């Protein structure tokens, strides 16, 4: 399980996902909330997408726990 932001200093999250080739489940945690970003992440294999500023940490923890069972 990888919790991934899309905005990172050396490589963006989309490029990371393309290079990873869906080897691990990925949940996106980003403040990019545009539908095109969400759709691109899902196309690259993200199992879920959360906008950090709108999502309580408890919700993210529940998703992670249910994804690893």
What's the pTM?
A: 0.84
Question: According to the model, what pLDDT value does residue 20 have?
Answer: 87
Tokens 């999502």, located at residue:
55
CA distance 52 to 69: 23
All structural domains of the chain: 2-67 (3.40.50.2300)
pLDDT tens sequence across 10-64 = 999 999 999 987 788 899 999 999 999 999 999 999 999 999 999 999 999 999 9
Q: What is the mean pLDDT of residues 3-14?
A: 93
Contact 50, 64 (CB under 8 A): no
52: its two tokens: 């950090």
- Of the candidates 68, 15, 25, which has an alpha carbon nearest to the alpha carbon of residue 48? 25
Which pLDDT belongs to residue 8? 92
Q: Is the pLDDT of residue 69 over 70?
A: no
């Amino acid at each position: 399980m990888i919790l991934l932001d899309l905005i990172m200093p050396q490589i963006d999250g989309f490029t990371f996902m393309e290079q990873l080739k869906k080897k691990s489940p990925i949940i996106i945690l980003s403040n990019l909330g545009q539908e095109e970003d969400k759709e691109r992440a899902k196309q690259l294999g993200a199992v879920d997408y959360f906008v950090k500023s709108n999502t309580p940490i408890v919700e993210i923890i529940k998703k992670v726990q249910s994804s690893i069972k």
